[in-house]
Amino acid sequence: MQIHLTETPEAHAREVIASGLGAFNTERAGPGEWRRLAVLIQEGEAVTGGLWGVTSYGWLFTELLFVPGAFRGRGLGADIVRRAEGEARARGCTGAWLDTFEFQARGFYERLGYRLFGQIDDYPPGSARYFLKKAL
């Protein structure tokens, strides 16, 4: 056995780690029924933004949300989040969670009913990272 630190791992290395952890988690917590969820903003054939997440263990995790500047302030972001939450409910989810930086969208999510449950100060330096959740 060797331990190897690298900035350039082989492509399959992440899958090996993820599948091992997934098997461990399933053994302890049961199947998570992981399902991707995306709500996309499209201009013609091009995707220009949207929400990227996953549902598992009865929760929606919003990994990414991006609304292009030209579309901000029109309620589009709120509509996208509500659509994702609606699909999560249809999948049987009872909650949603996400994280955001201080310079991003904490207030936006709080207006949609999300509440702070954790934070990391000085990440990135001079700012904070917030973790929010919402009952569905």
> For residues 57 and 87, what is the distance between their CA atoms, to the nearest angstrom?
15
pLDDT tens string, the chain, 136 residues long: the values are 999 999 999 989 999 998 998 899 999 999 889 999 999 999 999 999 999 999 999 999 999 999 999 999 999 999 999 999 999 999 999 999 999 999 999 999 999 999 999 999 999 999 999 999 999 9
Domains observed in the chain: 32-135 (3.40.630.30)
- The residues that bridge with 101 in the sheet, in sequence order, are 129
- The residues that bridge with 133 in the sheet, in sequence order, are 97, 115
